[in-house]
Amino acid sequence: MKIKKIATLALAAGLSLSLVACGSNKKESAKDDKKIVIGASANPHADILNKAVKPLLEKDGYKLEVKVFNDYILPNKALDEGSLDANFFQHEPYLNEYNTKNKTEIKSVAKVHLEPMGVYSQKVKSISGVKDKAVIAVPNDPTNETRALKILEKEGLIKLADKELLNKNDIKENKKNIEIKELAAEQLPTVLKDVDLAVINSNYALEAKLNPQKDAIATESKDSPYANIIAVSSKNKDSEKTKALIKAIQSPEVKTFINDTYKGAIIPSF
């Protein structure tokens, strides 16, 4: 009888602990469901998220955690591995090229803003001042190098092959014998003093205290298809977190914040 009673008590205690653990797991799960972890470039992406998006999500009961990345590879890798719920740093052509190359299934779910790429120089004040054998630095990833080379073509410095993705080997006419240096996008502001021109993404230009409207001697057309996007894993594209994030980031409040803060250097795309 005594043994039976002890066994019964042990079973009851085990069941009680199990129920407590279950309850604790449910609480943790509910807490996680209301936390959105997003990877972003520092400026303007993280700035927009922290100052304009986070307060809106808090009103809807969500906590936003922004993780800052300083390159264009790790945010997609972290998203694919599941340590992020979303990322915000890239445009769709870059994402498509990344998916193809890495066999990933990351989806664009919202357009947010366009960062017109600009041409900067500490040696000439206009494109007409570019001399023979000038050295021009451009981003080395396929989509951003394509953008950069197309700006140089638009400005009459080179002529390109008719291709979707371009690199310096696709220059078909180069009357000034310009040398193209392909570098990681984040390095371009640091080499500006060493080259004649650098074609720089606006997020890295802003970090280097360069104003695309005032300091660029040439810029990308405003009808560019390279709007920056919110991207998520394909399995999460219809999740409640994703819906809440899209609602907040494409809100009138965020549009006003972008217009008032960046004054045309960054343009809303929604």
pLDDT for 168-212, tens place per residue? 999 999 999 999 999 999 999 999 999 999 999 988 998 999 988
Which helix or strand (DSSP H or E) is residue 137 part of?
strand 135-139
DSSP 177-244: -PEEEEE-GGGHHHHGGGSSEEEE-HHHHHHTT--HHHH-SEE--TT-S-EEEEEEEGGGTTSHHHHH
Query: By three-state DSSP, how is residue 125 classified?
Result: coil
> pLDDT at residue 37 above 90?
yes
Residue range 40-50: mean pLDDT, rounded? 96
pLDDT bracket for residue 31 (50, 70, 90)? low
Share of the chain above pLDDT 90, in %: 79
pLDDT for 199 equals 98
Q: What are the tens digits of pLDDT across the range 92-118? A: 999 999 999 999 999 999 999 998 899
Which helix or strand (DSSP H or E) is residue 136 part of?
strand 135-139
pLDDT for 162 equals 96
Q: Most confidently modeled of 140-144, 248-252, 259-263?
A: 248-252
**Residue 59 in tokens:** 């009103």
Q: Please tell me the total number of residues recorded for the chain in this structure.
A: 270
More confident residue, 47 or 5: 47
Residue range 245-267: mean pLDDT, rounded? 95
Largest interatomic CA distance in the chain: 101
pLDDT bracket for residue 10 (50, 70, 90)? very low
> pLDDT at residue 230 above 80?
yes
Give the single-character DSSP code of 265: S
pTM: predicted TM-score of the whole model, two decimal places: 0.74
**Three-class HEC string of 138-156:** EECCHHHHHHHHHHHHHCC
More confident residue, 23 or 76: 76
Q: Which domains does the chain carry? A: 34-115+226-268 (3.40.190.10), 118-219 (3.40.190.10)
pLDDT bracket for residue 124 (50, 70, 90)? very high
> pLDDT at residue 29 above 60?
no
pLDDT for 223 equals 74
